[in-house]
Amino acid sequence: MEAPAAAHNPAEPAQDGVGVQITVNSPEQMQELGRRLAKLLRAGDLVMLNGELGAGKTTLSRGLGEGLGVRGAVTSPTFVIARVHPSLGDGPPLVHVDAYRLGGGLDEMEDLDLDVSLSDSVIVVEWGEGKVEELTDDRLHVVIHRAVGDTTDEVRHVTVMGLGQRWAAADLTVLAA
């Protein structure tokens, strides 16, 4: 993996924060990126994953689950909306949410009790943009860009942006190692 030169993309969060861009060349590298990202996470962290269908959001989440040492295979929660993966050790559980089929705003997300789970868990929300930002000012936005159309190209450009005081001094460049 390599960290390409930073470039502004209008699809990325416009808020001030610390960030890094990473090029991922395979699903295995995406999963490894998730394992590395897990080392930076702690209970109370919110991670928002955005990208096209098939971009690698669930693959990254699978790596997060492995890195956090949680029980159960992390798979797409599309049809159940949310899955809780308890920790197998002393780390936080992973709450994995797929907000694709949900409308907008936090109102629809209230039934999931994410605000209750947030302090004790790492919450990862696929398709969360515009839906869960009100949970906390401190969050990670992960945007996965991929070539669209009829392509077998597995290259992804991943932007990880930390927002809020929690991430102000974070060294996200370790993700590009």
Each residue's pLDDT tens digit, 137-164: 899 999 999 877 666 788 999 999 999 9
- Residues 69-91 have a mean pLDDT of 80
Q: Using one digit for the tens of pLDDT, what is the confidence trace for 60-70? A: 999 999 999 99
- Select the more confidently predicted residue: 51 or 117: 51
* CA distances (Å), origin 23, targets 33, 146, 152, 176: 10, 10, 16, 8
What is the mean pLDDT of the segment spanning 100-109?
57
Higher pLDDT, 154 or 49: 49
SS3 40: coil
